[in-house]
Amino acid sequence: MLKCVSCRNKLSYVGYTKNLEKRLFLHNSGKGAKFTRGNSWKVIFKKKFITKKEAMSYEYFLKNDKKRRKQIYNNSK
């Protein structure tokens, strides 16, 4: 599964996970990726994929397409 999370200061983070609830808990408890520490995150987008390769490919696409990430953020309001 691919996730896009956001916090109140308009930051967004995209990542791959097999367990969304656990990963979000880790981000919010300061034990996730270094970039996510110190903020309260919420899921604004998620998408399931059949293979990890497909998920990682889409993750790469979102990480490199700032317009698409902004569009996801704006649609989550």
From the list 30, 40, 34, 31, the residue with the least C-alpha distance to 5 is 40
Q: What is the pTM (predicted TM-score) of this model?
A: 0.77
Measured CA to CA in angstroms, residue 69 lies from 29, 30, 32, 52 at distances of: 24, 23, 20, 20
DSSP, collapsed to helix, strand or coil, labels residue 73 as helix
Judged by average pLDDT, the poorest of 6-15, 38-47, 62-71 is 6-15
pLDDT of residue 24 exceeding 80, the answer is yes
Residue 69's pLDDT band, with cuts at 50, 70 and 90, is confident
Q: What is the pLDDT of residue 10?
A: 78
Q: What is the pLDDT of residue 73?
A: 81
Q: Domains, the chain, ranges and CATH?
A: 2-75 (3.40.1440.10)
